Structure 1
Amino acid sequence: MSPFSRQAGREDIRQALEYAYGSFLRFSAMWALAGFGGAFLTVFLSFSRGNLDMSPLFREVTVGLAAALLGLGHSRYQYFLLENWPARYASLRKASLGGQMPWSIKTGLAVTHPGRTKVLLAYAGGILLFLALVFLLHRGLPLMGAIFFAEGGFFFARVLFWKRAFEQWKAEGIYDYTQ
């Protein structure tokens, strides 16, 4: 049984998954690579200057792991929206192919559904907890290292999530992203 909404057509699902593949998986992979490349560079520069201590590195990794939790939550919500409203993502794909900006679509970017307020509160709470963690770790936390580890962690978690989702859809015969 398909996890997608019953009223969605096969073409809408294919278009939505093509949009998700390009916008969620490939985009996240590029940003994760940039984030971890920057994190490696900051650690390498600290090491070459002779001031690499395990405490700042541990704090940077902790910030990266906290950002990864935010990335997983964000991906899970996008997955929920993709399953239940694939026509929305299909229209985003068609608009992007037509040269339109996604925010100019008449359907709008916001999807109203039961529990949307709870999702928004969870987002706000997650961001506040992340900022509280950064504040608690701020002593000895290199700014650039924290930014790059957070970026890498957030987007790498998204890559892992979406890669698993696409592998599952491929196994179920819904969408083969390798073609």
Structure 2
Amino acid sequence: MMNLAALVHSLRCSLLHIESRLLQAAGLDRQLAPALAVSGPSLLPQLAGEEEREEQQSPEQPPGVLDGILWMAAPKKRRTIEINRTRRRADSKLLKVQPNIEPCPECGHLKQKHIMCGFCYAKVCRETAVIRQQIKAMEGGPLKAPTVETVVLYEGETPSQQDKDKRIVERPRKRPAWFSY
């Protein structure tokens, strides 16, 4: 009978040890347990009486500077609906008329003065992307680019004397009117 009790005790200790190791591996502490917090003066009436005596003995303190902070920021009166609507629909919040809008001289789309038209800009971007793809195909890689300037020649154009030392990219189409040389 004694051996059986010792065996059960040993088994229980082993299981507790395994449980503590698992909790430790999971990052939990086995020593943490739920705590009970109680209010002291309600349980201990002699302490509550001492606090009341201290309040009676101490003279009343003047109000502090920071006592009214919480109630100072609250609105005292409700804004009327007229004032709210005036604030919401103020002239400063309306859309401004832009006098600097004009039609593009090339395509006719609306644009701001002194700024390139968005439609024309997209055309230039497409043509530039095609030229860049052709240059990339000529080079064969990003690290094989020559250190000379690049000149784009369209169909029917011949290189000038200034273009002899430059890299020439030929495009098999007529030069667009907006693509100046």
Bin of the TM-score, shorter chain as denominator length: under 0.3
User: Which protein is bigger by CA-based radius of gyration?
Assistant: 2
Normalized per residue, the structure richer in helix is 1
Task: Give the number of the structure with larger relative contact order, counting CA–CA contacts within 8 Å between residues 6 or more apart.
Answer: 1
TM-score (norm. length: structure 1): 0.26
